[in-house]
Structure 1
Amino acid sequence: MKSPNFLIFLLSACVLACSAPVKQETGIVTDAAKSRLDSALTDMVESGMVAGVSALIYEKGEEVYFKAEGFADREAQNPMDRNTIAIIYSMTKPVTGVALMTLYEKGAFQLDDPLEKYAPEFADMQVFAGVDSITGEIKLEPLARPITIRDITRHTAGFAIDPNQPGLGELVKAADAGNRNNTLVQMAEKMGKVPLMFQPGTQWAYGPSVDVQAFLVERISGKPYGEYVRENVLDPLGMKESRYFVPEGDRDRISAVYRKEQDGSLSQVPDSLAHSFNTQEWPLTPGGFGLTSTVDDYMKFAQMLVNGGTYKGTTILKPETVKLMATSQLDENITERMWLPSKGQVGFGIDFAVRLREPASPEENMGVVGEFFWDGAASTLFWVDPENELTAVLFVQVMPFAGQVHKRFRDAVYGSYRED
């Protein structure tokens, strides 16, 4: 028979155990979020939204989620995995912005300096003002003010982009500034001869501004852009897999690119076309597109940003510079913003969209005020959430741009929209 003192001890222990507070999950990526993420990624593949998907999330400096689902190459039955190389298209832009801002920190330029101060290729530009209805001649007007460096970091420079625009489009096609056989200098020379499509600073229009940033880095630093970004951003961060040219030994890891057809099916874009930029070394090293990467490689870049410019003891930028980049540079009076409003309640900083307000409806992407992010033409995505010290990288390879993929992923991370 147990002694009375022992029975009292057992009873006390039971009372203490039953009254102990239940440990609450903290952070954003809880078990519930992981379950939502697993379901969302699996459904993306099973529903035929994408052929394959990989997602990596860090919170407070630690990996909290990774999953790869489906195929990098469905036809060859190559699974999507951690080492899959994706073509990141416009997710190249923030990398270029960081490279440019390393020169800003050295005092090499100011954001409101005229671009022509460093690049006379853009001096004496004019603005397209329509086509004369009688003569058919293009009408031009002088600049109200020069293009500034701030303009090329926030897409307000006015560079012409539409080859189908009456009058101006023919000049865009004839210049062929973005031809991959051009050097950055040749690109700039050709762009400088095409009239702007609007006065600088009056509209937001996505275009080749970040390619001009790469040219400016090359001009100011005196080094080829590809060398400068490698030496000052990619190599210091250990981003060995982030590159324009993928050597032959690594090409079996490049994901196929898929096109969503009108009937909802996915068809593979021939590798000879989809991978052509990255399997040959071209004269053009664009700032706005062209890099490939893996989820882990790009996460190093995102972690550098969430840590205020430093990653594992290596400082790329000062915290105040990262904050400047992540602060909207768009005046409220710039109301013509192309498709930027489709990104939600955002402004635009230096090569990032910046969330200004909470989502206003269930249709908008979930996110946190103060986050900054960008994406790529094949529907890749990354964001930096400073409030929660969270960074996310999502790789798929499907065109045209699949915004619903991003919504599903963001809703899984943060939970669905809730009415107040």
Structure 2
Amino acid sequence: MKRTILVLLPVLLIVSAFQLTNSSVQYKPAPIVSAAVKDRIDATLKRFIDSGKIVGVSALIFERGKEVYYNSFGLADREANKPMDRNTIVRIFSMTKPVTGVALMTLYEKGAFQLDEPLSKYAPEFADMKVYKGVDASGNLILEPAKRPITIRDITRHTAGFAGMEIPALAKLVKEADYMNPANTLSEMAKKLAGLPLAFHPGDEWSYGPCVDVQAYLVERLSGKPFDQYIKEKIFDPLKMTNTRYVLAESDHARFAALYDRSDDKTLNRVPDERANGFNTKNWALKPGGWGLTSTLDDYMKFTQMLVNKGKLGKVRVLKPETVQLMSTNHLSDTISKRMWLPSKGRVGFGIDFAVRTQPPATKDENNGVVGEYFWDGAASTMFWVDPANELTAVLFTQLVPFDRVKLHKSFRDAVYGE
């Protein structure tokens, strides 16, 4: 018996070593951003500048808690010949949305609400909603009662049914209501929005719209604080995001990137400053949850690092790990088949203010990425993603409208992960 054990011992040691090695590979994959990958990213971003597709671009990547890539190319302000750098302030537009989602979920952790409760429990304006069915022979709207109330989960995943510009009869009412006028408070915005018919029954479709602005209103109602004050106290100050805000200080105007429009003839034209900067250089009443913030690469990276670290950055905890997990889990069932343009983001579902990758890319034409990643982007072609499997976060800044006509995002992702 002893001899048998002695004979088997080397075999057992080899098997154990093999299992340990496999375990380490499973839980600690090889780093993504190698020297070759850095060169590939540089070449990719420089090519977009050299070809005249964009004016300026910068990118920052952290992996396993450390900065592994930073570079910038081109100009933040072509007319003033100011280079793009990591201190450049940009409009992040819809990358505001995940910030709002985090703010809302800090209140969820306190037991302030449950996701499947009716929104009207806390915002009575949204009770007894009516849904658009069509118009009669005289052009009058045909409405029916909503099959169920709008829930808080609906406003976190864009399934509330709020009217947009897709249906002409509702588009006219949306324009007349002018609920996103910056002179409106969030309360006034909500009241005007709630007065409009829904485009579809809650939960039936995914449709991008003002859901996250309603989240900001809910944060105000539940916290008793102005939304911009709440996110400053609960997110920006703890994470030392000192360059992220709605209203730029006058001393920061020189760091504010210009916004460029890529016209149909492929020329880049500066959006007039009075239009591009009008929202962020005046203290408007409206502090939207869905757009409006300005930030820097390093500031937004702190936000993404908090997320990849399961709600914590350094000694600061913003959310519990299980809350981050909840936010980054797909909340769209297969029955929600109408999803606007969401499929253009790849094989994704939607969590709480993030798209969530549920399957690997089916073809090389799809955006590259890893199953389990969550991400979003902004109207001026900014983007970020969080890749928990590789403990990697990436932030890409440029200031280009309309949204990413030049396929910068796909090229950047391909450069990071390989085509």
Does the TM-score normalized on the shorter chain lie above 0.5?
yes
Selected match of 2:56 from 46, 52, 55:
52
Partner deviation per Cα, 1:243-291 (whole Å, 9 max, x = no partner)? 0000110011010000001111111101111011100000000000000
CA distance in 1, matches of 2:69, 2:197: 48
Aligned partners of 1:236, 1:408: CA distance in 2, in Å? 34
Residue pairs, 1:103-252, within 5 angstroms? 103-132=107-136, 134-162=137-165, 165-252=167-254
Q: Does 1:263 align with 2:265?
A: yes
Identity of aligned residues (%): 62
The corresponding residue for 1:73 is 77
CA–CA distance in structure 2, aligned partners of residues 82 and 238 of structure 1: 16
CA contact (8 A) 2:183 2:284 kept: yes
- Unpaired runs of 5+ in structure 1? 1-24
Q: State how many pairs are aligned.
A: 390
Residue matched to 1:393:
395
Cα distance, 1:165 vs structure 2: 2.7
Instruction: Tell me how far apart the structure 2 counterparts of residues 61 and 158 of structure 1 sit (CA, whole Å).
Output: 39
Matches within 5 A, 1:245-394: 245-394=247-396
Give the secondary-structure state (helix, strand or coil) at the position aligned to 2:176.
helix
In structure 2, the residue matched to 1:20 is none
The answer (yes or no) to whether the contact 2:164–2:170 under 8 Å persists in 1 is: no
In structure 2, the partner of 1:22 is none
Q: Which runs of 5+ in 2 are unaligned?
A: 1-28
Residue 410 in structure 1 maps to residue 413 in structure 2: yes
The letter for the 2-side match of 1:64 is V
CA shift digits 1:157-204 (9 cap, x unpaired)? 000011x63321221111111110000000011011000000000000
Q: What are the Cα deviations for residues 9-35 of structure 1, in whole angstroms up to 9, with x where unaligned?
A: xxxxxxxxxxxxxxxx94000111111
Measure, in 1, the Cα distance between the counterparts of 2:347 and 2:167. 29
Q: 1:166, 1:408 → 2: CA distance?
A: 36
How much does 1:125 deviate?
1.1
Structure 1 residue 80, shift from structure 2 partner: 0.2
Structure possessing the higher radius of gyration over alpha carbons: 1
CA-CA distance at 1:378 after TM superposition: 0.3
Q: Which residue identity lines up with residue 144 of structure 2 in the other structure?
A: E
3-state SS, counterpart of residue 325 of structure 2: helix
Q: Does the CA contact (< 8 Å) of 2:64 and 2:390 recur in 1? A: yes
Report the Cα distance in structure 1 between the residues aligned to 2:30 and 2:202, rounded to whole angstroms. 46
Structure 2 contact 150–160 (Cα < 8 Å) conserved: yes
Could you list the per-position Cα deviations for residues 212-247 of structure 1 after superposition, in whole angstroms to 9, with x for gaps in the alignment?
000000001111111111101111110110100001
Is 1:98 aligned to residue 135 of structure 2?
no
Q: Deviations over 1:133-169 (max 9, x none)?
A: x22110001010000000000000000011x633212
State the one-letter code of the partner of 1:158.
G
C-alpha distance in 2 between matches for 1:230 and 1:26: 37
Tell me which of 68, 87, 91 is aligned to 1:87.
Answer: 91
C-alpha displacement at 1:293, in angstroms?
0.2
CA separation in 2, counterparts of 1:263 and 1:345? 31
Task: Give me the whole-angstrom Cα distance separating, in 1, the residues matched to 2:372 and 2:190.
Answer: 34
Task: State how far apart, in whole Å, the 2-side matches of 1:414 and 1:336 are.
Answer: 30
State the alpha-carbon separation in 1 of the partners of residues 202 and 91 from structure 2. 31
Amino acid at match of 2:231: V
TM-score, scaled to structure 1? 0.92
Aligned to 2:33: 29
Shift in Å at residue 49 of structure 1?
1.4
Aligned amino acid, residue 54 of structure 2: V
Q: Which amino acid aligns with 1:378?
A: A
Length-normalised TM-score, structure 2: 0.92
Segments of 4+ moved more than 4 angstroms: none
Which deviates more, 149-158 or 261-270?
261-270
2:216–2:289 contact (8 Å) kept in structure 1: yes
1:42 aligns with 2:46: yes
Hey, what's the Cα distance between the residues in 2 that align with 1:185 and 1:175? 14
**Secondary structure of the structure 1 residue equivalent to 2:103:** helix
Residue 334 of structure 1 and its aligned partner are, at CA, apart by 0.3
**Offset of residue 75 of structure 1:** 1.4
